[in-house]
Structure 1
């Protein structure tokens, strides 16, 4: 990887997002929690959610990831409250398509993930970028299963 590639990949906006990660405190009484790890790089994200009628009403996250994973967690965390499982799944699917299939950037409310388009070429970082979505979806599935039990 050349210096130019590194500068492009770790742009000023990506690095700024790493310092702006919201909801970094774990919840004291979550509806559900989930932890996801990217085996290739060791990044991990733990998510706590509170859900009411299928809508995320509170969110906490503990992010131990590379700058790209942190930037994704920052954008996701900024837009996750008020979302349903279907909306979160749609955002994750759009991010996956952007990274793996050269698709367009995710639509609102997760359109800030567009900043990660340069990471398309760095397949070893894709799992880290998807961690916050994956952990949130796991927690939402737990909450849904518990509500229907």
Structure 2
């Protein structure tokens, strides 16, 4: 009986803790964010510097699209334990692979793109057919901020 009571108490505490994390994990605090940089990311991918608007849900988290990035159709999604700007959403058959053009450091689970999760990395190598990039460079000053 005591064991059951202890297990029940732990379950209630776990559920209460999870419900406190959920709003942050869903990344709904900001409807839009600005991507800024004065480093290599801005030099290599200037058209990505703009306002990213929340556009829907992917794998239970918000995803974003840039509406003032010169017709850019890439999306900012949470994939493989990091936030990434991808040319295609993983699993989209028409794309022939998903390329992480810009990505956060790994271990960003539970954090949102507007949190301090830098440094950001960008593809500085060649795009690999079917998904991937041959090399990434780091931009220490790139950041998403709520607007």
Provide TM-score, normalisation by structure 2.
0.29
Question: Higher Cα Rg: structure 1 or 2?
Answer: 2
| Higher RCO (CA < 8 A, seq sep 6+) | 1
Greater percentage in helix: 1
Greater percentage in strand: 2
Provide TM-score, normalisation by structure 1.
0.29
